[in-house]
Each structure stands twice: as C-alpha cells, then as structure tokens.
Amino acid sequence: MAELDWIKKGYKIIDNFFTKEELEILQHYTLKKLEDDKTYLVDPDTYSPGWYKDALASTFLHLKKPLVEKASGYKLFPTYTYWRYYCFGGQLTKHTDRPSCEISITANIKSNDKWPIVVEGRTIDLKEGQAVLYLGCIAEHWRPGKYKGEGMAQVFLHYVNVDGPFAHHNNDYYFYATDNISSKDDEKKIRELKKKFKENNK
C-alpha cells in the first residue's frame, strides 16, 4: 500500500500538522505553562522541563488522531502525550521508545533557532507547525550534540495500532495497571520488529 511506504524508512514528515490558529494557541500556552506551572519533570537525560499527559496536549492527541491515521495508514488507539521545552545545554541521545510509542509524532510548537531531530540517520529540521511521524519503539531517533539555543518547544503524541501487538497500551492502561512500561512479550516483539526493520533497510 502506497500510504505505508513510510514504514520502510521509519518516518514521514507531515506539513501543517498544526493550523496557524492552533499554533498560536500552543505558543501562548507554552509561555504561560513555563511561567505558571512548576509541576514539570526534568528528565535527567535531556536536562529540560517537560509535562506528561498535559491537558491541552492530550486534547490534541485525540483531535489529531484522524490526521495521524490518514498519514500512517493505520487505525489507532491514543496512548499518551509528553511535551518538552528544550533549554540551553539540553540533549536527546540516540534511543527508541516504549511500546506505547509504536506510532509517534514529534511536532514543533516553537523554535527560536534550529536543532534538528535525526530519525534513522536522516536529519530533519522541523518548521513551526510541522511534524514528523515515526516508528517510536523501532526507529532510532535523537538530536545532535547539546542544544545551544534560546528555547524550543516540542510536543510528542503517541499511539498504537488498533490491530497491532501493542494495542493493550491503549490510553497507557498497561502502564497504569502494572506500573511497568512493557511486558516480556512486548520486549520480545520489539526485538523481532527491530531486527526485521534493520534487515529491510540494509
């Protein structure tokens, strides 16, 4: 299927993921969040504040699901959101994510300067409002070096394939029920999928 051609390379760029009006709301919200909400988490791997399941981000997780389904070619369950404000010295090392990030979106809300995301070796400079769709738990992704800029807001929207092996992560239920991000079966399946992905991209 043509709409699944992106699976081979592990990612797909989506232009105008957020409309001009949505982006304006999100940018203002970002500033207010930073000023007023001190409940953020500082990931020791990124050195930047972030919010898990933020209310506005979670609203967009559901509103954007039809768009992500069309772009991905899959019927999806939403799992969770996370949005981060990268600060000077922040970093994002090479990694893959947990099973609930099977189908993932990284979208640029606000960038005062450039700091690209790299997916499977491909460097992508996202413009504000633009997003990259990628296989979060299979495709390796990172950002080069340390961030040297004035601030960058990104939102991450995560989904799982309704008919896929990680459907039990719908709404992050597995995490809530077990306090674990994955099962042994999940980890085995991810290893198999990563091996197949690498073989198909030799």
Q: What is the CATH number of the domain that holds 52?
A: 2.60.120.620
CB atoms within 10 A of CB 39: 10
Q: At residue 159, what are phi and psi to the nearest 5 degrees?
A: -140, 165
Nearest-angstrom CA–CA distance, 70 and 80: 19
pLDDT grade, residue 47 (50/70/90)? confident
Q: Tell me, what's the pLDDT at 42?
A: 82
Average pLDDT over residues 81-91: 92
Average pLDDT over residues 135-152: 94
For residues 73 and 1, is the Cβ–Cβ distance under 8 A? yes
pLDDT grade, residue 4 (50/70/90)? low
Q: Please report, for residues 23, 26, 56, 130, 153, the alpha-carbon distance to residue 20 in angstroms, rounded to integers and kept in the order given.
A: 5, 10, 16, 11, 16
Q: Does this model's pTM top 0.95?
A: no
Residue whose token pair is 């930047």: 48
118 exposure class (CB count in 10 Å sphere: 0-12, 13-18, 19+): middle
- Decide if pLDDT at 10 tops 60: yes
Structural domain of residue 15, as residue ranges? 2-200
Number of compact structural domains in the chain: 1
Average pLDDT over residues 141-160: 95
For the beta sheet containing 76-86, the strands, ordered from the edge strand earlier in sequence to the opposite edge, are 11-14, 131-134, 103-111, 152-161, 76-86, 49-52, 41-42
Q: Tell me, what's the pLDDT at 199?
A: 85
Rounded to 5°, the CA angle 13-77-52 comes to 75
Nearest-angstrom CA–CA distance, 120 and 108: 19
